[in-house]
Chains A and B, each alone.
Chain A
């Protein structure tokens, strides 16, 4: 590489760019900030995630690790420069295979793939894995990325969009996909007004500490525009996703209750933000801390009114569990512990806030814009209508971007200074300060009769909810409803408790505690099948819910797809049981099931969708379901299009900007396809009805758009409605449908009896793996996943959910363990890499749900639930070893094997 610092110009995508006078700046920073090439993403600033990968003279490099001076004289290629034939074919293959979900890792993946494809035109899977191994993806499970790169030699074919009435069920490419593969999608860190202040937070280095400030007035490093503390918070300094439990200050007052909690804000003029904060005037006085749920109970109360640190509990009971278990032929009992799991989306939290008159505008990545608006307004003492949230593309969320993070922080600075204020969390800051999956300590006993029928289950789970409430109550309530699994359990008692500790705040993470509970119940199921002398799959089929059964909450359920899922696995199961392992390894096969209620537990959670036709004939969908990669921009539109009877390609989307789009609720609880989808179906039908009414046409009429007209064909009768002659409503539409859907649920009584959910989804997965017993290592060979989705609105996106959920299940089972203070980066905290996800076969079962739109059920969380228990069951099948503490790291597997061998 030639190097000439006298010629401070970079050649980026063939253009010469002045690098300024900072030779040791990260190339990534120069590309983004100076060159405006924000397709290059930054996920860790440490070379751990590969999102910032660029080509330097054709070789893939992490631009975050490269001093800009090194790049002088080399040809730099970023995602924006992939407009050659290799790049265009690759991008088309990514869209065709659904290889981009949220899109934040996509530029790094594309660049890494191009480095390979320039050398090898038709690479093998192994070559692709090796070339892409430096880029982490948290959404896709990698399999579709591998398929896309292997298929990138194919010529680009024109994309065919479905005709009117045929969108539902079609493998439509993501409607927002092109900008993700072009690197032009705007994420939280990608856009800000000139002159915006840069905000940094002072955070607690202790798990629990009292603090006091020195002279904040005198502390003013260069370019510092101000310092703010809890004393400056104008509203009620308590937020939380469940208002009755709101307990978390945006800036701590006197005591910090967890490591990473923000205590003060400092804003800097652009360019001065790297000032040293180590002399910030604060004195810390560490206090005793407790970090696990067992120690939390009975320790000094973290919050007044929550005695024993028990935030809340959920309880479900039916029948007489003690008598049933006493009379059981076979019983199995165990205690299992799980760890903190970090969401590890590749996009750290980022956003910008500014004042628009007396309106505070916050533009940021989020899963829940309206909840963000309301929490931010309350913290800052503003009326909700004086806060506007403009969601950007969101680079993964998985539950953590439901809670506000930096929204009120940058909002406060904008409010106090009148200037735009932006903030980008560092990877460590993101990991320290945002929510986690609850660690759980669970104990359960399950009993069967002599024929292997479940007769009773007794479950207790303590969930470490950390320093503040967040979604702890949801976990405590959802787990007891689900802890039986999708199985008939006539006598049942389940208690879930959320326990405060000084650990990081546990919140929502894909499944709200149900993935942990499934580990408990599904591993006991294997022991019971063995005791009853039954095949493990047959045991599950025997006990699985059928249509017309009553759940443990007393709810009668219909259209239950679990038996169909288990039956779909059967040929794969039988084949796998006949296979042997390679030399030196032992083969194991495991299975587990899931069920999961879609939407809030026994609480209202409506969605509203508005769709209109403008006078110029453009169909506009106010798509309020935040698309965090899962595909709601595409799926909701497919539903609305078919309901309206209009072609998918006619739709223009407006995102979930709180000022212009009705509330479609949060992206959580696997509710968007079902709840917002149902609202979209109703709104589409309402739009269609309005047109038909105007045309005085019957229900069977066909609609066509033709420039500024709608053509209504009703039998032989054809009517053309010229739209620009019609009066537009207050929203500017000549025809409009706006509908709200709220799932019909009922509250649970003191025994947890009621209708907590209107729709459930079902699934079962089987895992084939080999264990190296001497090392305790686990080698996944393949996974088969059967999920009843009711109706696959978009089969490709459904497969993407399955593969991505399985990847997170693999992480939960085998490697992910967040330890505050010890694994606060992406090299000590491990998420699955491209080599850790085996081939996955997805089987979509479509047993239409009577309530869901076009029969669809939710899927997003279901897919993660069976994976970890199926892996643990396969490890036990292979070795006899029972893993009682997750993740099953090699040393734990090794110890469990030694224990079972009596060593």
Chain B
């Protein structure tokens, strides 16, 4: 019942603590508290709030480092190139301002909801996840970090220290759209994110990811490959074919599987039409 509370001031201390005992890792708290009806978290909890180095977005030679304590509001206020516009648009759709002020990007990944707002835009940024433990650091592509609903590759004794975006992903522009049954505070039925680099009237880079339509958000790789080898927007048939072969939507209270597939096609086709405008 009584919580064991750790609030280390640095990462070294945190991983040492984690090596000694299983701990619930507390980042923004926006998923942990809703999961309990109790007025306090229980068990051993490791709070990341005291680790200053985890908060904020750094631009380094190799790319961007989004610290694990970075909130959605931090993302919105950060000076980032247009390639991050999709991530910022997603940030505005994570709950409302209260959740954006508390919830972290890394926590959104660790919670591993199929409807995690942050995942599609981060997939289009070729993001990877940095994991730290007493044994050292490892880096996994985001698509490998996310295994399934509520399931990640996070090992015992590990915590996510940062999300890494390579410098090459800073090119182009990006966007994000979320389809839900109400305007705010909604879990998406379908999400679509894209990042595009256009040279003249040709796409040289295309990244397209769809969320809430499979166990984890997925990129439409075949569509991306076709787009950079052909001119002009893709046919709806091609988009539909890629959606059908890549995604695996389900029926739930928010929508039917068939609807999700159709809506994903419509949203991707719309995004592509805009990209070529």
Contacts and interface: CB of A to CB of B under 8 A. Distances in A.
User: Are A and B interaction partners?
Assistant: yes
Contacts of B39: 25-26, 29, 45, 274
B5 A24 contact: yes
Interface in B20-67: 26, 28-30, 33-34, 37-42, 45, 47, 49-50
A47 B34 contact: yes
Contacts of B183: 133, 833-836
B78 interface: no
Given A67-B47, A274-B38, A894 B263 contact: yes
A694 interface: no
A134 B259 contact: no
Interface residues of B, number: 50
A429 B5 CA distance: 29
A775 B41 CA distance: 40
B3 to A, nearest CB: 5
A23 B3 contact: yes
Nearest to A829: B253
A194 B179 CA distance: 49
A50 to B, nearest CB: 6
A3 B98 contact: no
A65 B3 contact: no
A215 to B, nearest CB: 23
A894 B256 CA distance: 10
Interface in B66-111: 73, 92, 95-99, 101-102
Interface string A799-829: 0000000000000001101010011000110
Contact of B102 (A65, A827, A835): A65
A781 interface: no
Contacts of A823: 253
A115 B101 CA distance: 12
Nearest to A32: B39
B166 interface: no
Interface in A751-776: 774-776
Interface residues of chain A: helix, strand, loop or mixed (majority): loop
A653 interface: no
A241 interface: no
A775 to B, nearest CB: 5
Contact of B263 (A135, A814, A890): A890
B233 interface: no
B225 interface: no
**In the complex, which of the residues B47, B49, B184, B187 has the most CB atoms of chain A within 10 Å of its own CB atom?**
B184
A53 B95 CA distance: 13
A61 interface: yes
B91 to A, nearest CB: 12
Contacts of A774: 262-263, 266, 270
B263 A59 contact: no
Interface in B203-258: 253-256, 258
Contacts of A822: 253
Contact of B37 (A70, A428, A814, A815): A428
A5 interface: yes
A775 B184 contact: no
Interface in A122-145: 130-131, 133-136
Interface in B167-197: 179, 181-187, 189
A197 interface: no
B185 A48 contact: yes
Nearest to A894: B259
B136 to A, nearest CB: 27
A134 B49 contact: no
Contacts of B41: 24, 67
A60 B98 contact: yes
Given A830-B186, A895-B259, A3 B49 contact: yes
A426 B38 CA distance: 10
A895 B184 CA distance: 24
A274 B42 CA distance: 11
B272 interface: no
A65 B30 contact: yes
A827 B187 contact: yes
A136 B183 CA distance: 12
A695 interface: no
A249 B142 CA distance: 53
A25 B33 CA distance: 10
Contact of A45 (B28, B30, B33, B254): B33
Nearest to A42: B39
A835 B182 contact: yes
B259 to A, nearest CB: 4
Contacts of B189: 890-891
**In the complex, which of the residues B26, B29, B185 has the most CB atoms of chain A within 10 Å of its own CB atom?**
B185
A828 to B, nearest CB: 6
Contact of B33 (A46, A53, A275, A891): A46
B7 interface: yes
A775 B268 CA distance: 12
A441 interface: no
A69 B98 contact: no
Contacts of B98: 47, 50, 53, 60-62, 65, 112, 134
B96 A133 contact: yes
Nearest to B266: A774
B181 A830 contact: yes
Contact of A61 (B26, B102, B267): B102
A589 interface: no
Contact of A130 (B97, B254, B263): B97
Interface string A22-49: 1111100100000000000000011110
A620 interface: no
Nearest to A895: B259
Contacts of A275: 1
B74 to A, nearest CB: 11
A884 to B, nearest CB: 15
Nearest to A426: B37
Nearest to B181: A815
Given A69-B47, A889-B181, A894-B263, A24 B255 contact: no
**In the complex, which of the residues B26, B96, B254 has the most CB atoms of chain A within 10 Å of its own CB atom?**
B96
A597 B162 CA distance: 62
A828 B187 CA distance: 8
A231 interface: no
A293 B126 CA distance: 51
A352 B94 CA distance: 37
A1 interface: yes
Nearest to B5: A23
13 contacts: A59-B101, A61-B98, A62-B102, A65-B28, A65-B98, A134-B95, A136-B185, A775-B266, A828-B253, A833-B186, A835-B184, A836-B184, A891-B255
Given A827-B185, A834-B184, A894-B263, 10 more contacts: A45-B39, A48-B34, A61-B98, A64-B33, A115-B97, A131-B97, A134-B98, A274-B38, A275-B1, A889-B255
Closest 4 A/B residue pairs (Cβ): A835-B183, A134-B96, A891-B259, A46-B34
